[in-house]
Structure 1
Amino acid sequence: MQIIVLILSILLPPVGVAIKHGLSNDFWINLILTILGVIPGIIHALYVNFLR
């Protein structure tokens, strides 16, 4: 399961966050970061899913 979350966190960051945390504040923050720039969205998704 973690490999799927990792792949989705890189390709579609909001989806990767939504799978692990649902539609919480983390999802909405990641969606905004991904809209502003893909790289900040990826970094946030990896941080939320694997480091926190």
Structure 2
Amino acid sequence: MAATGPMICLILITLFIPPLGVFLISGCSVDFLINICLTLLGYLPGHIHAFYLEYVYYHNKTSETPRRGAGVYSERIYNGGRYQPSYGSIP
């Protein structure tokens, strides 16, 4: 089960600055850049996108079989923050 303290902090950060919340879960990725663009287009689309990414992140973090959400491009979100070694990586 995921810790609720960090999740609540992330939700509070996302309420005020949606791109910062996305950056904390995905790093500097395409999802972060998409969220910046959506927030510049309107504050509400940035929130919807950020909370959707957080939902997918925490769902995949607690699930045994992660599923790829529509419009999620970051591997960190897809893996739920779990380390997944790739070819040529050093653990």
Alignment TM-score, normalising by the size of structure 2: 0.54
Instruction: State which structure, 1 or 2, has the greater radius of gyration over its C-alpha atoms.
Output: 2
The counterpart of 1:35, out of the listed 33, 40, 43, is 40
Q: How far apart, CA to CA, are the structure 1 residues paired with 2:19 and 2:40?
A: 10
Percent of pairs with identical residues = 40
2:53 corresponds to which residue? Answer: 48
Q: How far apart, CA to CA, are the structure 2 residues paired with 1:50 and 1:5?
A: 11
Q: How far apart, CA to CA, are the structure 2 residues paired with 1:49 and 1:26?
A: 11
Q: Note the 1:1-52 alignment, pairs <5 A.
A: 1-51=6-56, 52=69
How big is each residue's C-alpha offset from its partner over 1:7-47, in whole Å with a ceiling of 9 and x where there is no partner? Answer: 11111000000001101111000000000000000000000
- Backbone CA RMSD of aligned residues: 1.0
Code of the aligned partner of 1:43: I
Q: What are the ranges of 5 or more consecutive residues in structure 1 without an aligned counterpart? A: none
Q: What are the ranges of 5 or more consecutive residues in structure 2 without an aligned counterpart? A: 1-5, 57-68, 70-91
Q: Which aligned runs of 4 or more in structure 1 are off by greater than 2 angstroms?
A: none
2:87 corresponds to which residue? Answer: none
Q: Which of the pair has the greater relative contact order for Cα pairs under 8 Å at 6+ separation? A: 1
